[in-house]
Amino acid sequence: MAENLENTDLPAAAANHDGRLARGSRTRQALLDAAFFEIYDHGFRSASLNEIIRKAGCTKGSLYHHFPDKHALGLAAVAEHTDAHIGQTWIEPLARTNDPLTSVRLIILRYANETLGIDPLRGCPFQNLTQEMSGLDEDFQSYFATLFGRWRGAIAAALAKGQANGTVRKDIDPECVATLVVASHQGVVSMIKATQDKNVGHAAATAFFDYLESLRP
């Protein structure tokens, strides 16, 4: 009888365990989302843990269950959201294309036309953080370097593929051009925020597209 009762309780125990895991996963995601937007609004050093907890709808105990401190939470939040953005916007489309110059143009147009959910007058969340934390925190610095490397690498690989299939000039250096693409993009984003003038971006895009066309055979 005891064995039968024990077996009967197993499904309920498993369901409770799965439910706790699901709630824990939702809480962790809510904290990551709230932290990312709090950091975007105020910067990492001024971000408020109390505001993050409030916006996530959880308790301080829940926060410290998932993350040991603000530093770990902030780094995880930035990595999750920025990795997803760069991956979906740049890395994945460039991995699929046979015409990288057109693909880069279309990506830049998405920023210029504000179809990516980013207000150019507020700046790029990733760039805002690099300007704040570069040189101050080794963990953030390591993350920045890794992501910039992946970003440039994806563009360089696409350009090399374009050279192989005849859509990109063979005399260019893909690594150098990829670095220029990322640096130009980040520089223009910085100028738009500094001047609070979206026309800066449109003017730069026109010249940048001319440069891209000059890379064709």
- Does 5 score more than 80 pLDDT? no
- Does residue 201 sit in the same domain as residue 101? yes
Work out the pLDDT band at 9, boundaries 50, 70, 90.
low
What pLDDT score does 8 carry? 46
What pLDDT score does 18 carry? 45
pLDDT, tens digit (0-9, with 9 covering 90-100), for 177-216: 999 999 999 999 999 999 999 999 999 999 999 999 999 9
- Does residue 132 sit in the same domain as residue 96? yes
Give the Cα separation of 177 and 101 in Å (integer).
11
* Both structure tokens of 213: 């066309």
Domain range holding 19? 1-67
Domain count for the chain, please give it. 2
CATH label of the domain that carries residue 134: 1.10.357.10
Give the Cα separation of 10 and 33 in Å (integer).
35
pTM assigned to the model: 0.85
- Does residue 56 sit in the same domain as residue 105? no
Cβ atoms < 10 Å from Cβ of 190:
16
What pLDDT score does 148 carry? 96
pLDDT, tens digit (0-9, with 9 covering 90-100), for 122-180: 988 988 999 999 889 999 999 999 999 999 999 999 999 999 999 999 999 999 999 99
Domain membership of residue 12 (yes or no) is yes
Fill in the amino acid letter for 189.
V
Domain membership of residue 73 (yes or no) is no
* Both structure tokens of 92: 């994945």
Which one, of 74, 73, 55, 56, lies nearest residue 64 by Cα? 73
- Does residue 31 sit in the same domain as residue 112? no
Task: Please compute the mean of the pLDDT values over residues 41-50 and round it to a whole number.
Answer: 95
- Does residue 30 sit in the same domain as residue 133? no
Give the Cα separation of 104 and 97 in Å (integer).
10
